[in-house]
Amino acid sequence: MSSFRKFVLALAATFFAPWLCLIVVPHAKMKAQEISIWEDKELGTKSSYPAGTPNIFRQGQSVYAREGCASCHTQMIRPTYLGFESWRPDFGKEGTRAKPVRIRETRPGDFLGERFAYLGVQRVGPDLSNVGYRHDEAWHHAHLYSPRSKREFSVMPSFRHLYVKRKVRGQRSNDALVMGGDLDPGEGFEIVPTEDARVLVGYLMTLKKDQPLPPWLLEEEEEEKTGDAGEKAKEG
Amino acid sequence: MTDDKKADEDILRRAAIDRSARLPVLFFFTSATVWLVVSVILGFIQSVKFYAPGFLDAPWLFFLNYGRSNPAFMGALVYGWAIQAGIGVAIWLMARLCRAEVKNPLTLLVAGHFWNIGVLIGVVGIFAGYGTSMEWMAFPKAVWPILLSAYSLVVIWLITMFLRREAGDVYISVWYVLGACFWFPWIYITANVFIHVLPGAAVAKAATNAWFLSSMIFLVLVPLGLASAYYFIPKILGRPVYSSQLALIGFWGLAILGGWTGIQKLMGGPLPVWMPAVSGVAVILMLVPILAIAINHHMTLKGNHSLVETSPTMRFTAVGTLAFTFFCILSALCAFFSLGKFTQISQTTTAFQLLAVYGFFSLTMFGAIYFIVPRLVGCEWVSGSRIQQHFWFSTYGIAALVGLHFIGGIWQSSAYAQFDAPLENAVSAGRPYAIGVSVAWASIVISNLIFLYHLGLMVLRLGRRDENPALLGHQHHAA
């Protein structure tokens, strides 16, 4: 009996250390993350980091989760020593609004207020960290309804079940999908997004993980990058 | 003369213990195998959908989209098949090694039913759109308490069994079973409470998820699989394990390092850098206990490799443990930045998970089932060639699948790394490999349909009433 007790105690002791260090401490520390507010002299505006996320985010993220988008899409831009993956030349050719303000790797603060950080499993489709910059809402709806209508080579499944085809009553809906060819619903019919599709696209539109970092964080980063060489250059 | 009498008594006693374990163990094996077949069929479907989303794409089949069928297949494979088969083997091993008859099989049956209901709700829930998209935790949030209570019942039963054992040395397999009893609830509660219940930082939750996946492999599946390997390899050879010292090193090395692994999956991610670094180091250090275990098995087997040819249990177990060593070496290699940056977020993920769950764990379980079931039902497996087919289709399938996913993942990642090339290149880079993987899946589906059929015959007592066990290879039914 006593040897059994010793055995269990030893198991507990060996497992307690990683449990404490990898689970409990990070959860406790990251929860207490501070939000810093500062004035950006160049832009003359007040900024905060982390900036947090709008409400549409949470509703849309649950659709993102249940449809399993995270099985193929990442939301993780790694530092350059692991790859250059923040932007590609053909990102956002159609309906691009603006290029991201600054492209940088994702940081813990970018996920403030999310229920779960869908960093991703594998990258079958492109990274979605900054997808909010790439397309407009109409593009997203058409792409979700029929991915191959926008990208011939796409292997994304169609999310038709998030849309309804209905008879036009009175005026055509403003949100009705504009699609030609085989996908045209026909005279007198229209395809409109359901609430789920609306919040999902709303969520995609808010995905802009490039909030400006506060000056002191930037400085820290600069120091890390340049290290001693940078300091010497400054002195010189 | 007295020795003979003692041996006879031993055999009778073992037979009595086996009989007492029949109902619960067969229940777990049969339902696990049904889940296995469900999951490999889903696995085949999701593997085709991976490159051809138009496959089975009728409007009412929207729930088969890759985003839902992939987590559903993984959930069915891990919780429906793997853990359930593991529980079945653990119960039988515990009864045998503690030399105690199974009391209260009802507890186990209740637990088994709850477990199956939990998995069913989970898999259907994912298809119905309640999944969470977290790896190995994709079941709807309501499911985890059901699975936890079912497993806890089994744990209580196993520990009671252990405390009622006949005095004597505790065998290595029992350490491992007790380890899995202890680790699963802790890991499972931690992950679910920190992710689903407590509010907290999203990134810390993602790290917990990565840790959960790896801990489930190293501290639940690996102990259960090794418990089986440590029992059956010496049992079939009829000689003791080569070195108990090495076994000790293997066990405690696993216990010390297992909980540190997993977060290397998120290296370069938005986490404090030390977290993936520590996990990476743990995975590399893990090679030490793994080497101890591998050497121990190899030395036990030394000179008797012909048994791997003829005994189904031996063959499955030996290939399974080999796959395990292979899994650990690959994991260690991919913990380095130079290779890891290509394998971290690509198809390779699937290769790793399936190498552990199918290549190692499932093959070991098949081996155990081929040994245990004839002793429970009192008849022999109908045909050695069915077992042979099961083995070859499974082994070729999983080897091809892991190889293709592994290389395909690296290929795909390097295409993504060319940031100035069009996106099309990156998307289509993994395609040929994915097509090959579907073929491998087809082979795995065939192999497990054969297995289900064969096991079904046994459960229905339609096996051979024969004294000679079904063997593999060119055995002659000599005089």
Mutant choice from B187, B416, B437, B438 vs A, greatest count of A C-beta within 10 A: B416
Answer whether B347's CB lies under 8 Å from B433's CB: yes
What residues of B are in contact with residue A128 (Cβ under 8 Å)?
none
Q: What pLDDT is attached to residue A100?
A: 57
Task: Say how many C-beta atoms besides its own lie within 10 A of residue B200's C-beta.
Answer: 18
Q: Which residues of A57-93 are buried (b: 16+ CB within 10 A; e: fewer)?
A: bebbbbbbbbbbbbbbbbbbbbbeebbbbbbbeebbe
Scanning A157-186 for CB atoms below 8 A from B yields 157-161
Given phi > 0 = left and psi -120 to 50 = alpha, else beta, which region is A68? left
**Chain A positions in Cβ-Cβ contact with residue B263 (cut-off 8 Å):** 22
In the structure, what pLDDT confidence band is assigned to residue A93 with cuts at 50, 70 and 90?
A: low
| Closest chain B C-alpha to A17 CA, distance in angstroms | 8
pLDDT in tens, A134-160: 888 899 999 999 999 888 899 999 999
Q: Could you tell me the end-to-end alpha-carbon distance of chain B, in angstroms, rounded to an integer?
A: 29
Q: Are B350 and A123 in contact (CB under 8 A)?
A: no
In terms of Cα–Cα distance, which of B77, B55, B151 is closest to B112? Answer: B151
Q: Among residues B141, B138, B308, which one has the least CA distance to residue B237?
A: B308
Contact status, residue B55 vs residue B438, Cβ threshold 8 Å: no
* H/E run at residue A170: none
- Where are the alpha helices (H) located in B21-142, listed in sequence order? 22-49, 66-75, 83-97, 105-127
SS3 per residue for B309-352: HHCHHHHHHHHHHHHHHHHHHHHHHCCCHHHHHHHCCCCHHHHH
What confidence score (pLDDT) does residue A35 get?
A: 78
Tens of pLDDT, residue by residue over B172-198, are: 999 999 999 999 999 999 999 999 999
Helix (H, G, I), strand (E, B) or coil at A114: coil
Q: How confident is the model at residue A104 (pLDDT cuts 50, 70, 90)?
A: confident
DSSP state of A197: H
Q: Which residues of A touch B162 (CB under 8 A)?
A: 4
Q: In chain A, which residue's Cα lies nearest the Cα of B55?
A: A157
Q: What percent of chain A has pLDDT over 90?
A: 34
Task: Label residue A235 by pLDDT band (50, 70, 90).
Answer: very low
**Contact call for A116 and B206, based on CB within 8 A:** yes
For an interface test with A, the pick among B49, B219, B345, B411 (most A C-beta atoms closer than 10 Å) comes out as: B345
Phi-psi bin for A98: left (phi > 0), alpha (psi -120 to 50), beta? beta
**DSSP class of residue B259?**
T
Using CA atoms, how far apart are residues B63 and B128, in angstroms rounded to an integer? 7
User: Measured between alpha carbons, how far is residue B6 from residues B3, B302, B463 in Å?
Assistant: 5, 30, 30
More confident residue, B398 or A213: B398
User: What are all long-range contacts of B245-249, with beta carbons under 8 Å and residues at least 24 apart?
Assistant: B246/B292, B246/B293, B246/B295, B246/B296, B247/B172, B247/B292, B247/B293, B247/B296, B249/B288, B249/B289, B249/B292
* The pLDDT value given to residue B12: 87
Residue A95 has pLDDT above 60, yes or no: no
User: Can you give the pLDDT at residue A229?
Assistant: 46
Q: Could you tell me the pLDDT band of residue A221, with boundaries at 50, 70 and 90?
A: low
Q: Which of B431, B391, B215 is nearest to B310 (CA)?
A: B391
Residue ranges in chain B whose pLDDT is less than 50: 1, 476-479
CA separation, residue B304 to residues B173, B300, B314, B345, B391 (Å): 21, 9, 11, 42, 20
The answer to whether B250 faces chain A, any CB pair under 8 Å, is no
Radius of gyration over every alpha carbon of chain A, rounded to an integer in angstroms:
23
Q: Do B200 and A112 make contact, defined as CB atoms within 8 angstroms?
A: no
Kindly report, residue by residue over A153-174, the tens digit of the pLDDT. 999 999 999 999 989 888 888 8
List the single residue in B with minimal CA-CA distance to A125: B427
A124 to B163: CB separation less than 8 angstroms, yes or no: no
pLDDT at B479 (0 to 100): 32
Q: What is the pLDDT of residue B390?
A: 96
Query: Domains plus CATH for chain B?
Result: 3-459 (1.20.210.10)
Q: Which of A23, A154, A157 sits opposite B194 (nearest CB)?
A: A23
Check pLDDT > 50 for residue A230: no
Q: Is A158 within 8 Å of B49 when comparing Cβ atoms?
A: no
Is A84 in Cβ contact with B417 (below 8 Å)? yes
Q: For residue B35, what are its two tokens?
A: 């889940």
With CB atoms and an 8 Å threshold, state whether A122 touches B346: yes
Q: The complex's ipTM?
A: 0.90
